Chains A and B, each alone.
Chain A
Amino acid sequence: MKSKIFKLIVVIAVIGIAYAAYMWFMPHRNIQSTKAFATMESTALVNEFLEDKAKANDLYLDSEGESKVLIISGKVASISKDQLGQQVVLLKDDSEKMGVSCTFTLDSNTQVDKIKVGDSVKIKGVIRSGAEYDEDLDLSENVIVEKAAIVE
């Protein structure tokens, strides 16, 4: 009897430790291997946020930060680098005030060497926040997409 209880305790302890280790070492979500929630034009995505911010936030953002993975197509308006050295491709129509800012990773950075301003491209990444224009603050904010990679 005693040895049975002991075995049970050991099993529970092993499961507990394994679970704690799993939680501790849980890897970050792999965006590129996650199925895309939708494929859309950059302008359409921007407009969804400008028309109804609350509705778009609710649709695209996740309460634990695991927000929707999207494939965005659009025209390259600019290419720059952020302070970490990640390439940032802005997809924006000439006629629009705001676009979709796609930040690549240090691993996917080299893909950007193949594209130039004016090209039409498709980019997959995770959405972090929506577009917004604040008249009082004179502040235009693009949709922010990160962990980006080019979709061939």
Chain B
Amino acid sequence: MKNLFLLLLSIVSLTAFSQDKLSTTSGHIKFFSSTPAEDIEANNYKVTSILKPTEGTLVFSVPMQSFEFEKALMQKHYNSKKFLDTKQFPKSKFKGTITNVSDIDFATDGSYEANVTGTLTIHGVAKEVTEKLNVTVKDGAVTGMTTFDVVLADYGVVFTSGKPSTNISKTVIITAHLNFSK
């Protein structure tokens, strides 16, 4: 009887532990493009993300039309069929794993460097990527910060002529700030 009780207790606690999941629906992602002609920046505060500390699973989804540009015309160009075609591809997604998740102590304040590997899908094109994510644990709150480059042509976003080809960099810098809560 006592064993049965212990078994049940361990199943319950295991379930509770495996359900442990950090999430956010208000992650911030920014992209920055710099050319001699001009610098272009766009911000998006609507990133949904999940981090499962036990398995190291990291997922995020970016609603592409939530990127805000300073200039209305740039925003229209960015959304259009010639560029990101956000009506056809409304979301960009990443699904991957923190390969060194055992090095991160989610219960203790500190800053940890996570190695993330997985599939990034932008503009309907999926690519394997490996990037670093800085995980900060402070007073129980978990934050993920990362900066990485995206080569637009890798995702089928190509412009060979006209103003965009001189004003938009071929490689854009992505910065993400994921503010997780339980």
Contact = CB atoms under 8 A, between A and B. Distances in A.
Interface stretch (A3-11, A22-30, A37-45, A108-116): A22-30
Interface in B24-80: 25-28, 43, 45-46, 48, 50, 52, 59, 61, 63-66, 71-73, 75-76, 78-80
A128 B65 contact: yes
A103 B45 contact: yes
Interface residues of B, number: 36
A64 B76 contact: yes
Most chain B CB within 10 A, of A101, A129, A141, A142, is at: A129
A129 B91 contact: yes
A26 B79 contact: no
A57 B90 CA distance: 8
Contacts, number: 96
Contacts of B63: 128-129, 144
Contacts of B90: 57, 61, 129-130
A82 B29 CA distance: 12
A88 interface: yes
A33 to B, nearest CB: 15
Interface residues of A, number: 36
Contacts of B72: 26-29
A83 B26 contact: yes
B76 A139 contact: no
A84 interface: yes
B177 interface: yes
A contact face: mostly helix, strand, loop, or mixed: loop
A143 B85 CA distance: 19
Contacts of B26: 80-83, 88
B86 A61 contact: yes
Contacts of A57: 87, 90
Nearest to B91: A129
A137 interface: yes
B69 to A, nearest CB: 9
A85 to B, nearest CB: 10
Interface in B78-95: 78-81, 85-88, 90-91, 93, 95
A47 interface: no
Interface in A115-152: 128-130, 132, 136-139, 141-142, 144, 146
Contacts of A29: 72
B136 interface: no
Given A103-B45, A141-B48, A83 B177 contact: yes
Contacts of A101: 25, 46
A63 interface: yes
Contacts of A80: 26
Nearest to A80: B26
Nearest to A61: B87
A80 B26 CA distance: 9
Interface of A: 23-24, 26-29, 57-58, 61-67, 80-84, 86, 88, 101, 103, 128-130, 132, 136-139, 141-142, 144, 146
